[in-house]
Structure 1
Amino acid sequence: MTHALHFRRPVPGAERHGDGWTLRWEGTAVMGILNVTPDSFSDGGRHAALDAALASARTMRDAGVLILDIGGESTRPGAAPVPVHEELNRVLPVIRALADAGTVLSVDTMKPEVAAAALAAGAHLINDVTGLRDPQMRAVCADAGAPACVMHMQGDPRTMQRDPHYDDVVREVHDYLHAQAREALAAGVPDVILDPGIGFGKTLEHNLALLRALPELTEAPHPVLIGASRKRLIDFIAGVPEAQDRDPGSLALHLHAARRGAAIVRAHAAAAHVQALRVQAALNPA
């Protein structure tokens, strides 16, 4: 299956058309996670030094990831907010160093100020876990001609896992994503990616229901991203308490998502995901 994402700014690997660019890819692509934070739930501090961050970025690029997702603020359950200046000090040096690396750069941020500075520094895409709720974030993306990943989250990172509740999790999450996509496009954002927000304000049962219902979401005209990498639901299912030991479960969840039409999976073990997805694609009927 061919997927596409539209930009109004130059993007590595994209085709020019009129005043825009379209990035196309076959099957399920990988968004590699590059956390430049001291407190992320599975790799906090690993990329705090610029050299370490750039080395990991090059490894993921060479492995074949489509997008590098750079994050300067942890959104793990219970995480405290980071000041704008601190988040900028973490992400901008990495973005500037990778701006000419030939890879699509995404920035994982909830702050319009950080998004604007990141796009000005050479990023191409904004990954907003608050789902573009803030009109300023929609305006930043629209002005820069940058698409955004619109994610569903009940509450915020500090409160989202305090007894999350839904009457119908699939309907409510899908309705929210479609409504936010319409608002973003109406505000001038060139395109959106939809992310049901696995692990963000959801119980194990909620997460499994959303993953099983993926075909309903992937029928939408927008690419769908699934980010289940190393998340706690793997511990609940398979008894793996340490996040860094959950890559096999992450692969299982993401291969399921790929078979159900996901356009992108967001992963820590990016090279392993690229390899597994290529093998799975080769096994599919022509």
Structure 2
Amino acid sequence: MGQRYYRPIASIDHARPEGALPLAGGWAWFDRVEEMRRDGPARLIPAKSAPAEALERLTAPRDAIAGIGMDAPRLMGILNVTPDSFSDGGRHHAFDAAVAHASAMAEAGADIIDVGGESTRPGAQPVPEAQEIERTAPVIEAIRAALDVPISIDTRKERVARAAVEAGANLVNDVAAFTYDPALAPFCAQAGLPVCVMHAQGDPATMQDDPRYDDVTLDVYDFLAERVEALVALGIPRARIVVDPGIGFGKTRTHNLTLIRRLSLFHGLGCPILLGASRKRFIGDIGGTPEAADRVPGSIAVALAGIAQGVQIARVHDVAETRAALALWRAVTG
């Protein structure tokens, strides 16, 4: 018998049946799971028919990450200090503009600021370490001096992460799942840092050439499961690991939509889930908004779809708009 995977059918309805189980200790619940497998069709079963180990991971409350509780939806504000970002055309590349934008996102309700100095848009080329440090460390230091908000460094490189942490960063967010620089994960373990591990097929320069999967949901799940176990073995506790299925990183529109529909499966990893779909191209293709800056409504729609499945962190460009939408969503659903 092949491996079985258990996707909770998440609900946020106020009419919660007796015996329903909490999803990751959060705002959603479930009383059924989809039992998925590679060697046959999926089937819907009562939640309590799933193995006890699977239910434990699906229901256990998640620990705080970088001091942020995971018992409510959280927003990670994106700060690209690059001249070639796909989403904002380098508007926040300059030091003063970057710090001002961080302040604006914090005031708008960002729970954490994610600073990145290397574009990971499709076709992007690697940035030298020294240049990436020059872009990110001073900005992080200024944010830390001005704001009482957690800061994430979005990097694949140990030297960049080390400089960022020395400047005041609290979390390392690696789009390469700690496979690019073998020194990065040991540094995070030694420093006691929480981390975010993301799935990507290929690197930014080539990832959108021709992405293929046997089963995109299960392939991404297995990859993240393996990376989580590898990080745990290196000394990073599961409680300090966030997982990200990597929407738009080596995926077609169909792959992206399939992953978003089945996001609740990733609760089975026993980690908080981050959804980073903001302003991605598939949102523009479906919503008829070719310009990235016009994709705010579509980005909010996708973020709320993820939060309805218990996703704890939405990584967004448009913090104020997403925070307002989330307040209305919670008022209506709560």
Normalised by the length of structure 1, the TM-score is: 0.91
Q: Find the counterpart in structure 1 of residue 197 from structure 2.
A: 150
Distance in 2 (alpha carbons) for counterparts of 1:165 and 1:183: 24
- The answer to whether the 8 A contact 2:70-2:272 is kept is no
User: 1:20-56 CA deviation, whole Å, 9 max, x = no partner?
Assistant: xxx3143211000000000000213211221111111
1:3-22 alignment to 2 at 5 Å?
4-5=62-63, 14=67
Q: Find the counterpart in structure 2 of residue 199 from structure 1.
A: 248
What one-letter code is carried by the residue in structure 2 that aligns with 1:136?
Answer: A
What one-letter code is carried by the residue in structure 2 that aligns with 1:150?
Answer: V
Q: How far 1:135 sits from its partner (Å)?
A: 2.9
Q: Find the counterpart in structure 1 of residue 35 from structure 2.
A: none
Q: Find the counterpart in structure 1 of residue 327 from structure 2.
A: 278
1:258 corresponds to 2:303: no
In structure 2, the gaps of 5 or more residues are 1-25, 28-60
- The answer to whether the 8 A contact 1:36-1:70 is kept is yes
SS, match of residue 183 in structure 2: helix
Distance in 2 (alpha carbons) for counterparts of 1:252 and 1:137: 34
Change (3 A) 1:96 1:210: same
Distance in 2 (alpha carbons) for counterparts of 1:282 and 1:251: 16
What is the alpha-carbon root mean square deviation over aligned residues?
1.4
Q: How far 1:5 sits from its partner (Å)?
A: 4.4
Write out the 4+ residue segments of structure 1 that deviate beyond 2 Å after TM superposition.
Answer: 2-7
Distance in 2 (alpha carbons) for counterparts of 1:62 and 1:111: 30
1:1-286 alignment to 2 at 5 Å?
1=26, 4-5=62-63, 14=67, 23-100=68-145, 101-133=147-179, 134-190=181-237, 191-285=240-334
Deviates more, 1:52-61 or 1:213-222: 213-222
Distance in 2 (alpha carbons) for counterparts of 1:82 and 1:237: 31
In structure 1, the gaps of 5 or more residues are 15-22
Distance in 2 (alpha carbons) for counterparts of 1:247 and 1:157: 23
Distance in 2 (alpha carbons) for counterparts of 1:72 and 1:261: 30
Structure number, greater radius of gyration: 2
- The answer to whether the 8 A contact 1:6-1:147 is kept is no
What one-letter code is carried by the residue in structure 2 that aligns with 1:86?
Answer: Q
Distance in 1 (alpha carbons) for counterparts of 2:142 and 2:177: 28
* Percent of residue pairs bearing the same amino acid type: 50
What one-letter code is carried by the residue in structure 1 that aligns with 2:192?
Answer: G
Distance in 1 (alpha carbons) for counterparts of 2:113 and 2:263: 24
Q: How many residues align?
A: 272
Distance in 1 (alpha carbons) for counterparts of 2:123 and 2:190: 32
SS, match of residue 34 in structure 1: strand
Q: Find the counterpart in structure 1 of residue 13 from structure 2.
A: none
Distance in 1 (alpha carbons) for counterparts of 2:114 and 2:243: 15
Normalised by the length of structure 2, the TM-score is: 0.79
SS, match of residue 76 in structure 1: coil
- The answer to whether the 8 A contact 1:232-1:243 is kept is yes
Deviates more, 1:137-146 or 1:194-203: 137-146
Q: Find the counterpart in structure 1 of residue 53 from structure 2.
A: none
Distance in 2 (alpha carbons) for counterparts of 1:277 and 1:102: 22
